[in-house]
C-alpha cells in the first residue's frame, strides 16, 4: 500500500514507548450504509439493510440508515477531520445500490461522481483511499432474485467490480472485495440478526460459497481493469477461537467453530480447498453439491494482503444440554449462525465494552501469530479494530473516553509485539472514524473516534481521536499516560 511519509521525532532513550515501522499505514475506516444516509438521493435504490431496518422489530428503537451521519452531504467536513487526525489512509465502502441500483446494467453517474469527488479530496490531503466493494448492503433487487444463496449473485458482483474499477481505478490503488463475508452469510441467512434476516442453515452455507466465488471473480475483474501496481485483498473477521478447557470435547468444539468461522473462507481463498472436517461436520445439512467444477480454482486468486478485523476472542466448550449461541457476541436469535455445530459459547472474564465484548489484546497477538504460521507468505493488515463505550458530551463540550484509549493502546501494543516476533503486519485501521448506525443496535452503540450528535450532525473529536492522531503522526505508541 502506498503511504504518506511523515517525519518521526526520535524517541528518548529512557522511554518505554514503542515505534512502529517507518512505512506502517495508519488509517481509519467506515462503511457506506452506516454513515452515508441520502437513502434515495441521485438514483440510489434500497439495499437489504434499508429493507431490514424498515421492518418493525429488526433494529433497536426502529432506527434506520436513512440519514445516518449524513456523510453523503458532509463528506468534505469528514475529510478535513481525517486530515486533522494525520492518518495516511481511509478505508470506506461503496454503496452497491448507489453505483448500480438494480445490481445489473450500467452504473449511475451521480453515484460514481460522489465517490470520485471523495477520493480526489482524500488524495489532495495526502490520504490514500482504500475501497471496499461490499460491506453487507446487497441491492434489494438481487435479494429478491435469491440473494447470496444463488450462484448468479456472484456473477453480478463481478460485473459491479468491473464498473467500480473502470470508474475509480485511476484514483484508487488498493481494493478489498468483501468485508466480513462470515457476517453476510451466517448472520444474514443463518441467525437472521443481519439483513436480509433469513434463518436457513443450508442457505447460509450456500451463501458462504457464493461469497467466496464472488470474491474470486471480483479479484479477476479488478486485475483485468486496474494497473499492475494496484492491490487486491479481502477482509475477514477471523475469530480467535479458544477452548474453555483442554478436554477433548472442548477442543473439538473449538475446531468446529474455527471451521465455520475461519477456514470456510481461508481454505478456498488461500489454499484452494474446503476443509474436510467442515464438509463432514455439515454433511447432515448438505452435500455441498453447489460447489461446481472449477469453483475452487476461481476462488483461489493471488492476494496482495489479507485484511484482518479483530475485536474480541471467542470462548467455546462442548454443549451441555441445549446448544448455546447467545454468548457468541453476534446478537440474540432463536436461530444459530453456526450450522451443524452444537457447542456452548461463554463470555470471557474481565472488562467488557458497551457491546459486552471482552477486552483482550492477547487474542489479537495470538491470532496474528496463528496467521503467520498458517500463511507465512501473506502480508496482513488490521482493517478494523476498536470499541464501543457509553460516550457522552461533558459540560465543557468534550468527550473524554479513557476506556477507548486504553483499548487502543493495548491492541496496538499487541500488534507491535507481533511485528517484533516476525509477523508481516503492514498497517492498522481504527474502527471507526465516526459514531454511526451500528446495524441491529441502531444508534445505541458508539464506536467512533469522533462523536456525532445525531439530531444536528455535529462532529466532536473525542479524546481518543486526539490520542490516535498523535500515534498516526509519529508512528510511536507513547508511554502509558503519556501524550504526544
What residues are labeled active site?
180, 384
Q: Where are the alpha helices (DSSP H) in 226-293?
A: 248-258, 264-266, 276-281
Shortest CA distance to 307 belongs to which of 164, 129, 429, 154? 429
Are the CB atoms for 259 and 179 separated by under 8 Å?
Answer: no
Instruction: List, as one string, the DSSP characters of 44-94.
Output: ---BHHHHHHTSTTSSGGG--SSSTT-HHHHHHHHHHHHHHHT-SEEEEE-
Tell me 426's DSSP state: E
Phi/psi class of residue 68: alpha, beta or left (left: φ > 0; alpha: ψ in -120 to 50)? Answer: left
28: number of CA atoms within 13 Å, CB side?
A: 26
Helices 402-420 and 361-374 sit at what angle, rounded to 10 degrees? 30
Rounded to an integer, what distance in angstroms lies between the CA atom of residue 264 and that of residue 242? Answer: 18
Residue with cell 454503496: 95
Query: Which grid cell is 431?
Result: 474502527
Torsion of the alpha carbons at 400, 385, 178 and 238, rounded to the nearest 10: -150
Question: 249-271 burial, b if ≥16 CB within 10 A, otherwise e?
Answer: ebeebbbbbbbbbbbbbbbbbbe
Q: What are phi and psi of 98, to 5 degrees?
A: -85, -35
Q: Which residues contact 110 (CB under 8 A, 6 or more apart)?
A: 42, 43
Helix or strand run (H / E) with residue 130: strand 128-134
Amino acid at each position: 500500500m502506498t503511504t504518506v511519509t511523515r517525519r518521526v521525532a526520535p524517541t528518548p532513550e529512557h522511554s518505554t514507548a514503542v515505534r512502529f515501522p517507518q512505512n506502517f499505514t495508519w488509517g481509519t475506516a467506515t462503511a457506506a450504509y452506516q454513515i452515508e444516509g441520502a437513502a434515495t438521493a441521485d438514483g440510489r435504490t434500497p439495499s437489504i439493510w434499508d429493507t431490514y431496518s424498515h421492518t418493525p422489530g429488526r433494529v433497536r428503537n426502529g432506527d434506520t440508515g436513512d440519514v445516518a451521519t449524513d456523510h453523503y452531504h458532509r463528506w468534505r467536513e469528514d475529510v478535513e477531520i481525517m486530515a486533522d487526525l494525520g492518518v495516511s489512509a481511509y478505508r470506506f465502502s461503496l454503496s452497491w445500490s448507489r453505483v448500480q441500483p438494480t445490481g445489473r446494467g450500467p452504473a449511475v453517474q451521480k453515484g460514481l461522481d460522489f465517490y470520485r469527488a471523495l477520493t480526489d479530496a482524500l488524495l489532495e490531503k495526502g490520504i490514500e483511499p482504500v475501497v471496499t466493494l461490499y460491506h453487507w448492503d446487497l441491492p434489494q433487487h438481487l435479494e429478491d432474485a435469491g440473494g447470496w444463496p444463488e450462484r448468479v449473485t456472484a456473477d453480478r458482483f463481478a460485473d459491479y467490480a468491473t464498473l467500480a474499477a473502470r470508474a475509480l481505478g485511476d484514483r484508487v490503488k488498493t481494493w478489498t472485495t468483501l468485508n466480513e463475508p462470515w457476517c453476510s452469510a451466517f448472520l444474514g441467512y443463518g441467525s437472521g440478526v443481519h439483513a436480509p434476516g433469513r434463518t436457513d442453515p443450508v442457505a447460509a452455507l450456500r451463501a458462504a460459497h457464493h461469497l467466496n466465488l464472488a470474491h474470486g471473480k471480483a479479484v479477476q475483474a479488478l486485475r483485468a481493469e486496474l494497473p499492475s501496481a494496484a492491490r487486491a485483498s479481502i477482509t475477514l473477521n477471523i475469530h480467535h477461537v479458544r477452548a474453555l478447557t483442554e478436554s477433548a470435547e472442548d477442543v473439538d468444539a473449538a475446531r468446529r467453530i474455527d471451521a465455520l468461522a475461519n477456514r470456510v473462507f481461508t481454505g478456498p481463498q488461500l489454499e484452494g480447498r474446503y476443509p474436510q472436517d467442515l464438509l463432514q461436520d455439515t454433511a447432515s445439512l448438505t452435500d455441498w453439491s453447489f460447489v461446481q467444477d472449477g469453483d475452487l480454482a476461481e476462488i483461489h486468486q493471488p492476494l496482495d494482503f489479507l485484511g484482518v478485523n479483530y475485536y474480541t476472542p471467542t470462548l467455546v466448550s462442548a454443549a451441555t444440554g441445549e446448544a448455546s449461541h447467545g454468548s457468541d457476541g453476534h446478537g440474540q436469535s432463536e436461530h444459530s449462525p453456526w450450522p451443524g455445530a452444537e457447542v456452548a459459547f461463554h463470555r470471557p472474564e474481565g472488562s467488557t465494552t458497551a457491546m459486552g465484548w471482552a477486552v483482550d489484546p492477547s487474542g489479537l497477538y495470538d491470532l496474528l501469530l496463528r496467521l503467520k504460521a498458517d500463511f507465512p507468505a501473506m502480508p496482513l493488515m488490521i482493517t478494523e479494530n476498536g470499541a464501543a463505550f457509553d460516550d457522552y458530551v461533558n459540560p465543557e463540550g468534550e468527550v473524554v473516553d479513557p476506556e477507548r484509549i486504553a483499548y487502543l493502546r493495548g491492541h496496538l501494543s499487541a500488534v507491535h509485539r507481533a511485528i517484533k516476533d516476525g509477523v508481516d503486519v503492514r498497517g492498522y485501521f481504527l474502527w471507526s472514524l465516526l459514531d454511526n448506525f451500528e446495524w441491529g443496535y441502531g444508534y445505541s452503540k458508539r464506536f467512533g473516534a469522533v462523536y456525532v450528535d445525531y439530531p444536528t450532525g455535529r462532529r466532536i473529536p473525542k479524546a481518543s481521536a486526539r490520542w490516535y492522531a498523535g500515534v498516526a503522526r509519529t508512528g510511536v505508541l507513547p508511554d502509558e499516560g503519556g501524550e504526544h
